Chains A and B, each alone.
Chain A
């Protein structure tokens, strides 16, 4: 094992697919794959497609249970989404998987014109959203939401955990138009079942109340926000957490209601601060004529380093201790 100058073990990038779960955290295996396989038992229109990433997006679980409804398209993302459009036109409900970067960057034109414009029921499943791999810019989808938010008709879901994913899958299929899911795969943490919560497409939910701070978050940052809120309590800071898994259309009503007072407002997203949750919240506020400060916690507007995921989450301020630090600093 390599060591640093101080003799401490140097963290490794190891796998492209690194875990962001905390040691000992409760997890569920392949929640997307299981939910889709389950749904397909009841709805014969469901099909699964991938671009040489079936094993890496949990679609292999679906493939094993429904081999006749699984389509391997090869590492050809334009074909993947063009063909998904065609299948939807033929009356099927496709779930098409690849990594977020390849959906958002390489296949954008095909998703935009073949799927979103005709409002087809194609469900785009993007693995490795935001900073969930230490592999470097080729696989870090730091701007996927920014890219997709500009696409009319597209519903965007950023789930927090296995609970969100399992409950979202049938709702994505039921939604008539196209959707994009920021997939968490492998052993995915289960967090939200500890709260009085259920996923509802298009709805934000208050997970916990708090007098001093309101943390508005989506995706895995909701897990971090909940941890930060616990830790802040030890500093006698009472923090609320509002989870907004649907980023578009955005539940302005719930979020703006929560931002109405004078609590410190913070957005937390696993995404660049450009074009994601922070700007969604900020524009909603401005549109209603409400001027207030919002602290953005998110990735910087730059290409990120390669490295071990925990190192990078800490470096870029997504770890819960960095969140606590930031909130305390803002409170002064």
Chain B
């Protein structure tokens, strides 16, 4: 049995996730279409990372002591920009330039454009290999920073991901964590019909990774998984003081469009079109849903 995550900590992350979703909707509305569904689905993961897990300096994104968060899945940049705004790395006002000419926030995340963006990840399946090298390099230099790589389930199709998975285990990269957004969707449709990747947990385990699989829209479960990995790194598991040990992966089952009923229920699309009049509905549903969930939790607390 794992320890329950304290309510205050969980609520802080949920509040951050709510703001990330608000930012993502605002950015999506600028373009009128795009990767809003992915950003909403991954908001809880990104909130857990930026509001709870990562060590960084918002005013100095290049600080050498920072944990590295690598966005392999370039098109999820809309979600990461929202998290950057929440983290204070990018001003909230700047988000409205997303995907526009001359912006520091291009559609696909690129390290050459945006402070805090560690890699350029639009060609899918690169992130984990770079993460392996970064973890090896940091360890060789005696830097204890963690390396996190965010992948999409589509990236599990690429052979390069599995080459890197084996490499990470072989080199015992105990400070490396992969976070996989399993939204069961790819460009041509549902993942199950494009290339069956299940059983995913067994595949990572067979490559020598410590595996956690959680509901990626359940903040409590996400934080508990991160805690379990941290506990291993502190000596309860395989990692030693030098950072040698099995790398860890958190497989996050998420829901495209999470938090906005209209989008959750719509036919899933990789590149979602949202009509002009629907944006107000989206914003409204997000706010009502968040207020409702908060009230429900408050009710739970007082009920006997």
Contact = CB atoms under 8 A, between A and B. Distances in A.
Given A11-B101, A52-B188, A75 B154 contact: yes
Interface of B is mostly: loop
Interface string A59-94: 000000000000011111011000000000000000
Nearest to B152: A75
Contacts of A134: 107
Interface residues of B, number: 35
A78 B108 contact: no
Contact of A135 (B30, B32, B122, B187): B122
Contact of A16 (B30, B32, B107): B107
B123 interface: yes
A53 B157 CA distance: 13
B158 A75 contact: yes
Given A75-B158, A78-B159, A105 B100 contact: no
Contact of B157 (A52, A55, A136, A137): A52
Given A11-B100, A72-B188, A52 B154 contact: yes
B74 A52 contact: no
Contacts of B149: none
B63 interface: no
B96 interface: yes
Interface residues of A, number: 36
B108 A75 contact: no
A72 B194 contact: yes
B195 A73 contact: yes
Contact of B187 (A53, A105, A308): A53
B194 A306 contact: no
Interface in B175-210: 186-188, 193-195
Given A14-B33, A15-B271, A105-B123, A138 B100 contact: no
A52 B190 CA distance: 10
B299 interface: no
A13 interface: yes
Contacts of A311: 101
A12 B159 contact: no
B110 A306 contact: yes
Given A15-B33, A72-B194, A138 B123 contact: yes
A323 B110 CA distance: 31
A135 B121 CA distance: 12
Contacts of B102: 10, 307
B157 A2 contact: no
B126 to A, nearest CB: 9
Contacts of A13: 31, 99-101, 106-107
A72 B74 CA distance: 23
A139 B158 contact: no
Interface in B87-111: 96-97, 99-102, 106-108, 110
Contacts of A137: 110, 120, 122
Given A16-B271, A55-B187, A136 B30 contact: no
Contact of A306 (B31, B113, B271): B113
11 contacts: A1-B30, A2-B30, A12-B99, A52-B157, A74-B194, A75-B157, A75-B186, A106-B123, A137-B110, A139-B122, A306-B108
List 10 A-B pairs, minimum CB-CB distance, nearest first.
A74-B195, A138-B122, A306-B106, A75-B157, A74-B157, A13-B99, A138-B123, A10-B100, A307-B101, A76-B157
